[in-house]
Structure 1
Amino acid sequence: MPMPSRVAMLAAVRAAGARDNSVLQVHPLRSPGVAALMAQAHTLAAQGDYAGAASLLDRASRFEPHAPDILQTRAEMALAQGDWTLAQQLAQQALRRGPRFGALCARGWQTLAEVARAQRDAALQAQAGQRVAACRKSDPPSES
């Protein structure tokens, strides 16, 4: 089975997060400078300039080194650039620091699934895929 393109891998990660509408999403308060860097990085990524986006995300992470959304977005740029090791490391950091449910969670686990696919590790790919699904099982407990 041929490996999907890096662009297809990135699209799978983004789709994993986009399908998750059922979870309350919490967005961090952000300085205008970091918000501008993030916006520019998203623009460059949309244009296919993953190296330029990665550079801007690296700058943003100097100001907010533990922000899970910055870590995850940077992991996605590493994935798009074929740097499996960095993509895996950053996604794991984002998962440790970020929410256990919702879009960011799903994107992190899907990143790990795509890295496993690239490394032809079917067991790890399946495990990460199950964790993507678990990110969506977040119905709040009843208050009764």
Structure 2
Amino acid sequence: MKFFQFPILAVAAGALLSACSQPSPPAKAAAKPDRDPAAAVAAIRAAGSQLESAVEVKPLRDPAVDGLIKQARDLEAQAQPAPALDAVRRAEKIAGPAPDILQFEAELLIESREWREAGEVAQRAYDSGPKVGAICARNQQTLVEARSALGDAAGAEQARAQVVACKLAAPARY
């Protein structure tokens, strides 16, 4: 019997010692993102403006929605992303989940350092919107920025590849 007691004591002592060890540091993805929101939004908007696509979708909408979007853009220009976000969400209540409005919301969320929510809103905008053109490129670049800020390198790289896929060349004319 004494032969079996020694290994049991050794295992118990090892378990006790491991319980006293220091906790591991938090994962990098759990750390607070240090990405500059202004630089991220500039990269997002540049992705859409630099894309020369033959296909663009421009929705017709209620003038009240256009007024709220203008108000939101004016507030954003005054470095007031929270009130701008409120105006955009009021516009969404009228227009529904329009991809371009959702994308603007995602950009304002990035300015507010709400990286995870920005990624979720950009994904909704992509899912309900065009798969080519400037909005598509901005959706995907938003995912690049949000995932990078959250430490998801693989997800950011996947979204980066999708930015290129948003370009649809014009058909050859004969």
Query: TM over 0.5, yes or no?
Result: yes
Partner residue in 2 for 1:9? 40
Kindly indicate whether residue 110 of structure 2 is the aligned counterpart of residue 79 of structure 1.
yes
2:68 corresponds, among 25, 29, 37, to 37
Report what 1:52 is aligned to: 83
The list of structure 1 runs, each at least 4 consecutive aligned residues, that deviate by more than 3 angstroms after superposition, is: 140-144
How far does residue 16 in structure 1 lie from its aligned partner after superposition? 0.6
Displacement of 1:20: 1.4
Match of 1:65 in 2: 96
What's the CA shift for 1:140? 3.9
**SS at 2:79's partner residue?**
coil
Q: Please give the alpha-carbon distance, in whole angstroms, between the structure 2 residues aligned to 1:121 and 1:91.
A: 16
For 1:123, the aligned partner's letter is A
Deviation at 1:44, TM superposition (A): 1.5
- Give the structure with higher Rg (CA): 2
Pair 1:123 & 2:136 matched: no
Matches within 5 A, 1:88-127: 88-127=119-158
- Percent sequence identity over aligned pairs: 42
Deviation larger for 124-133 or 17-26? 17-26
Q: Which residue of 1 aligns with 2:169?
A: 139
The residue type equivalent to 2:67 in the other structure is A
* Structure 1 gap ranges (5+): none
TM-superposed deviation, 1:24: 2.9
Take 2:45 and 2:56, find their aligned partners in 1: how far apart are those partners? 15
What is the rounded CA distance, in whole Å, between the counterparts of 2:65 and 2:114 in structure 1?
24
Query: Could you state the TM-score of these two structures normalised by the residue count of structure 1?
Result: 0.91
- Range 55-64 or range 38-47, more displaced: 38-47
More displaced 10-residue stretch of structure 1: 46-55 or 92-101:
46-55
Aligned residues: 142
Aligned residues of 1:3 and 1:117 also touching (Cα < 8 A): no
Tell me by how many angstroms 1:142 deviates: 4.5
SS, match of residue 100 in structure 1: coil
CA 1:108–1:70: 2 relative to 1, 3 Å: same
In 1, the alpha carbon distance for the partners of 2:50 and 2:77 equals: 19
